[in-house]
Structure 1
Amino acid sequence: MPIEHRACVDQQHKSIVKKASGGRALSTILWELSADTQRERITINDLLIALGDRATGALIFIFSFPNVLPTPPGTSTILGAPLLFLTAQLMLGQAPWLPAFVANRSMTRSDFSSLVKRILPWLKRAEGLLRPRLASLTLPPMEYVVGLLSLLLAVLLVLPIPLGNVLPALAISLMALGVLERDGFWVLSGLAVSVAAVFVVYGVLFAMVKTTWYFFTQIL
């Protein structure tokens, strides 16, 4: 391929990515918000405003991906509440909205900055791979199916299952980025991880119930 034509194709691809991502990368928006020294605390509503019409997919990723990384016990329960609302809205095709008791939750800017620093290396790698393709898998009605599946996974995520939150969180994160950047390949990847997550989580649940029943019968 001639150099001039290749440069033209590359430029067209960049313009498509820019259009699909709303002009600024999610990593850039998060970094700017975390570096805003005029803020003492960052609320979920601040994120909603900063992300604009991209808020649903972006926030689903932000609240799901930390569960993939090592986090203190109970983190999935705290992050799970916003996820339940957002995935339900994605399923119903509604604009992002959160009730006041969720939207007004906040953390110090330093804590938010620490969280962003943990997410950014992974997010930047993902952004380097994401590109518009298989768009039909990221648009309605498939987008609603992704929302439904993400909602079911979010329910699993908030359950206190030992090591049971990693795969559901990863599946939600992949699908959220796929919808956000109109990359159907990532949606497919998330669907594949979802299947594995369901088998693993329900396998763990079955083992827990079986063990509990065994000890119960032994006591009796």
Structure 2
Amino acid sequence: MPDPSSSLSTVVSPDDAVEPRQRFSEVLSDLAGRSSPTISIGNVLDAFGDRAFGALMLLFAAPNVLPLPPGMSAVLGAPLLFITAQLMLGRSTLWMPHFIRERSISRDFFTLLTAKLSPTLHRAERFLRPRLGMLLHPLPERIVGAACLLLAIILFLPIPFGNIPPAFAIAAFALGILERDGLATLVGWLSAIGSLLILAAISSAILAGINAFFDQLWVILG
């Protein structure tokens, strides 16, 4: 007589097992390994699927942590305004107009960018894992989107040496969203606060310099 409990059990073959999702660095390497001469934003969106918010935030923010030619922070910061605004509004999927999806960079540059970012990403990914999920519920995530939108605006502005702190904060938030890691989100919040303090200090120094210049000018003219 067959054991009734046997009907309650299911044998799962290795082929039926769910494969773990690729890490961000692995998807980047796959994109860089394509034979096409260019990589478009649409290619990146399709590659990351439901993780597109975190992926594109990280892709556009992380390079700004590295030394870049003047003006590049504005070029990379502009798409972040579009992405982070949608995250703040609570969209479940990232929408991109056709003209932005078609924007592309050469595969050689994408490969170079991947090579520069990969060592840091590999080190970070060893520590990232799902935890502190309450920080990534829909409402907290929309607040993260609002913070990242403010940081993206700062990143977009031509502030000397002012792009690195907000870029680091957005990258930390993006890693938290990608890996559902609330600890990375906390790092993002701390970095965001630090970015605002640095911006305030830089702004005060610039204003003090302008005031000193005009004071000296009035002395000369007087």
Q: TM-score, normalised by structure 1?
A: 0.87
* Structure 1 residue 74: Cα displacement: 1.1
In structure 1, what is the equivalent of residue 67 of structure 2? 70
Matches within 5 A, 1:66-145: 66-94=63-91, 95-145=93-143
* 5+ residue gaps, structure 1: 1-14
What secondary structure, in the 3-state scheme, does the structure 1 residue paired with 2:126 have? helix
In structure 2, what is the equivalent of residue 55 of structure 1? 52
Structure 2 distance, partners of 1:202, 1:161, is 12
Residue 72 to residue 159, structure 1, CA distance change in 2 (3 Å) = same
* 5+ residue gaps, structure 2: 1-16
Structure 1 distance, partners of 2:28, 2:114, is 7
* Structure 1 residue 27: Cα displacement: 0.9
In structure 1, what is the equivalent of residue 166 of structure 2? 168
* CA displacement, residues 124-180 of structure 1 (integer Å, 9 cap, x when unaligned): 111111011101101211000111001101100111111111111111111110111
For 2:138, give the aligned amino acid. Answer: P
* CA displacement, residues 6-41 of structure 1 (integer Å, 9 cap, x when unaligned): xxxxxxxxx9993xxxx111111110111112x111
Larger radius of gyration: 2
* Structure 1 residue 97: Cα displacement: 1.6
* CA displacement, residues 100-142 of structure 1 (integer Å, 9 cap, x when unaligned): 3432221111011101111111111111110111011012110
* CA displacement, residues 69-114 of structure 1 (integer Å, 9 cap, x when unaligned): 1111111100011101111111111121223343222111101110
Structure 2 distance, partners of 1:181, 1:17, is 16
In structure 1, what is the equivalent of residue 30 of structure 2? 32
For 2:156, give the aligned amino acid. Answer: V
Q: Is the 8 A contact 1:17 1:132 kept in 2?
A: no
User: Identity of aligned pairs, percent?
Assistant: 45
What secondary structure, in the 3-state scheme, does the structure 1 residue paired with 2:105 have? strand
Between the two proteins, the alignment pairs up a number of residues equal to: 201
Moved over 6 A (4+): none
Residue 92 to residue 33, structure 1, CA distance change in 2 (3 Å) = same
In structure 1, what is the equivalent of residue 9 of structure 2? none
RMSD: 1.7
Residue 109 to residue 196, structure 1, CA distance change in 2 (3 Å) = same
Residue 150 to residue 143, structure 1, CA distance change in 2 (3 Å) = same
Structure 1 distance, partners of 2:49, 2:79, is 17
